[in-house]
Amino acid sequence: MITQLFVTPQPMIAPPPMIRMNGIKSVIKKPTNLCILSPSFNILRLIDRNDGADLQSAVVFGLVAVSANRGPSMPKFCANLTWLFTELPFMERFAAAKEAGFDAVEVLFPYDVNAQDIVNTLGRYELQMVLINCPPPNYTGGDQGFAAVPGLEERFRRDFKRALRYAQTLHATHVHIMSGVAEGAAAKATFIDNLRWAAAEAPGQSLTIEPINNETMPGYFLNDFDLGREVVTGINAPNLCLQFDTYHAAKITGDVLGTCDAMRDVTAHMQVAQTPNRDEPDQGEIDYPAFFAALDVSGYTGWVAGEYKPRGETQAGLGWIGSS
């Protein structure tokens, strides 16, 4: 049973004996598992060991928590087939993802494969395509997008139309538009103009932009979450939102929970990986139990994609989903 505790400031009362979990003193009046979220969420999440048992109030640093019971919940997870199941040929990864329990997938650059072949495979395994990247083709060894590159506006618009046709054939939920390597005021103006045009060109297609750290992509224009928010809110198109990647957030801000909370209202899609090695989102620098608990209570209804490099075979490393 999952119980969420919404906390309000109260004077500290004389507590019963304290217990300590995750370095935070807590008072729980019956045995329970406790997950403390970032203070910015102002929420505690308790998972009771005994189904149907009522939880009592908890006091954490002078905050009195009042329980509000609801049913079990967890994020919707999808598999990034560019990163996961790479021990298999590309077209065999869809079956592997379904067998592993996924109902949706994303592919960064699927353009080398006939779109109808992917559609048929998605249908065969009852999978949803959540996201593809724009522009085609794969940027390996070439441009990392060019939506923010002055002078390439015509190329961007031509390749966006191609990506849009492909996305529509796959019924992809989101198209991620990559900014490319650029800097300065002219790049910002180009980025905004191109995104405004794309949002109007494809009003029925969800578009995302993703802040990417400069260690992974040196010189990438959209390397800051505040800039991403500024661009999205400035254009104010209903089909343009932010794509939030926990790995990049950790590299850019060092505060994944706080940044996610600050960007929640403009975020349509999420991707997860652990730092520092970009592997399974389990043990490491990012507190994933707290992160997934935060999504449980935040109202986020989008997909969360595993976009990471497995330490071994993909299937062997999927335990993080069951523990989320």
Residues 201-214 have pLDDT tens digits of: 999 999 999 999 99
Active-site residues, by number, are 210, 307
Q: What is the pLDDT of residue 244?
A: 98
If pLDDT is split at 50, 70 and 90, which confidence band does 158 have? very high
Q: What is the pLDDT of residue 52?
A: 36
Q: Are 95 and 84 in contact (CB under 8 A)?
A: no
Q: Is the pLDDT of residue 126 over 80?
A: yes
If pLDDT is split at 50, 70 and 90, which confidence band does 105 have? very high
Q: What is the pLDDT of residue 143?
A: 75
Q: Specify the length of the chain in residues.
A: 324
- Cα separation of 111 and 134, whole Å? 10
- Cα separation of 86 and 288, whole Å? 24
Q: Is the pLDDT of residue 51 over 50?
A: no
**Which residues have a Cβ under 8 Å from the Cβ of 237 and sit 6 or more positions away?**
195, 196, 199, 200, 207
Q: Is the pLDDT of residue 123 over 50?
A: yes
**Residue % of the chain over a pLDDT of 70:** 75
Token pair for residue 216?
């992974």
- What DSSP letter does each residue of 109-122 carry, written as one string? --TTS-HHHHHHHH
Q: Please state, in angstroms and as integers, the Cα–Cα distance from residue 98 to each residue in 20, 75, 168, 217, 304, following that order.
A: 40, 17, 22, 31, 16
Q: Is the pLDDT of residue 256 over 80?
A: yes
Q: Are 94 and 121 in contact (CB under 8 A)?
A: yes
- Cα separation of 60 and 9, whole Å? 10
The pTM of the full predicted model, rounded to 2 decimals, is 0.78
Q: What is the pLDDT of residue 261?
A: 96
Q: Is the pLDDT of residue 239 over 60?
A: yes
Q: Is the pLDDT of residue 157 over 70?
A: yes
Q: Are 161 and 135 in contact (CB under 8 A)?
A: no
Q: What is the pLDDT of residue 4?
A: 39
* Mean per-residue pLDDT, 155-175: 96
Domains of the chain (ranges; CATH) run: 2-70 (no CATH), 76-322 (3.20.20.150)
Q: Is the pLDDT of residue 170 over 50?
A: yes
Q: Are 250 and 272 in contact (CB under 8 A)?
A: no
- Cα separation of 226 and 243, whole Å? 13
* Mean per-residue pLDDT, 44-56: 35
Q: Is the pLDDT of residue 72 over 70?
A: no
- Cα separation of 131 and 174, whole Å? 5
Q: What is the mean pLDDT of the chain?
A: 81
If pLDDT is split at 50, 70 and 90, which confidence band does 73 have? low
Q: Is the pLDDT of residue 282 over 80?
A: yes
Sheet holding 63-70, edge to edge: 19-21, 24-28, 58-60, 63-70, 2-9, 43-47, 33-36
If pLDDT is split at 50, 70 and 90, which confidence band does 33 have? very low
Q: Is the pLDDT of residue 110 over 90?
A: yes
Q: What is the pLDDT of residue 144?
A: 77
